[in-house]
Structures are given as structure tokens and as C-alpha cells.
Amino acid sequence: MRLQQIRMDWKPATAIIVSTLMIVVDHYHRIFAYRGYESLLLYLGVPLLVILILFRESPSRYGFQLGDWKAGLALTAVSCGGMTLVMLFAARSGEVQSFYAPQVKPLIPLLIDNGLDLFGWEFLFRGFLLFALYPVCGPYALLLQAVPFTIAHFGKPELETLSCIFGGSAFGYIAWRTHSFIYPFLIHWFLTIITVLISSGAVG
């Protein structure tokens, strides 16, 4: 096949490249001492600049909005309730407990630190990448965005990483259904907090 015969929509291609580069930079470098600032810069700031300056589109096109808030709140409540039941058992497993228990801290700093970290994280996968891929990949975008999400979990407990292709796809569905990354963010935020609290013995 000749090179000129390869035709790609430049926006999804750009989103794939930018997302990959941000994950690599995050893995190999510490830009700020505080993790939350780094996540906001790489996973939120850079994609927003690409959307605004290169794509010349509104961030709402990429899920940066409340979207269908009624469906979003219902899906968030059901998901958080279900995941609490799962984590009452999973968070006490040896590998998960040893990884998350040392992260326990007073509730407000725990909420703030993880909230800042995960807000950018969720926008990269369930906002920027998902909605850039969907016009060219259709429903496969829900699975495709979960692949780098899973890879980005390397180094965390194996059980958690294995579950990410399924959980990440479910998050993608919720973002697509509500046209907002906010609700996957809320679920992911809650899941992280409850995992730390249960694994450390602070609750449950």
C-alpha cells in the first residue's frame, strides 16, 4: 500500500498521539512535586489546549459538560453502591491492601488529592480520547479508550489492572450515555476513596 493511500482523520489521530505522549511523560517525569497539579496539566490542560487551539472546537463536544445529568446521577449512584459491595471484599485482598492502606490520610486531604488527580485522568480517557475516537470507530471507541487506561495501571495491584479493561469500558459507556466525563470521574473518585478507607481499616 502506498503512503498516499493511507487516509486518516487527523483529529482522532492527534488525540491518540497526544494521549499516548501524556501517559509516557507522566510515567517518566515528575513536573511538579504535587501529583494533582501534574495530572491537571498533562491530562486536562494539554488536551483542552489541543481541543481549543488545534481542533477549534468546544470542550463540551468532548464531554466537558454536565450532559444528561439525570441519567448521570442515577448511573453514578447505582455504580457506587455496587462497587462498595465489591470493594468490601476486594480491598481486603493482600496485594490491594498493601498498595492502598499506606495511602490513608485525613478525609479532606484524601478527597482533594485524589479528586485533583482523577479529574484530569478521567477527562483524558472518557472525554478527550473517547469522543475523538467515536466518530471514526463507533462503539469500539468504548473499548479502545480502555486499552491505554488499563496499560496506565501497570504497577498497581494485578487484580485492579486486569479489571480495568472491563471497568474502563463501563466508564466509557457512562460517558457516552451521558455525553459527559463527569460521572465516570465521580464513580472513579468514590471507588478510589472507598478502596483506601476499607483497605486501611478506616471503614468496614
pLDDT of the residue at 90: 87
Q: How large is the average pLDDT for residues 195-199?
A: 94
C-alpha to C-alpha distance for 98 and 50, rounded to whole angstroms: 38
pLDDT of the residue at 93: 83
pLDDT of the residue at 54: 97
pLDDT interval class at 94 (50, 70, 90)? confident
Answer yes or no: are the C-beta atoms of 103 and 114 closer than 8 Å. Answer: no
Least confident of 12-16, 35-39, 49-53, 179-183: 35-39
pLDDT of the residue at 5: 62
Residue 154 confidence (pLDDT) above 80: yes
**pTM of the prediction?**
0.93
Answer yes or no: are the C-beta atoms of 168 and 145 closer than 8 Å. Answer: yes
Mean pLDDT (the chain, rounded): 93
So where are the chain's domains?
3-200
pLDDT of the residue at 13: 94
Residue with cell 444528561: 68
pLDDT of the residue at 33: 87
C-alpha to C-alpha distance for 78 and 86, rounded to whole angstroms: 13
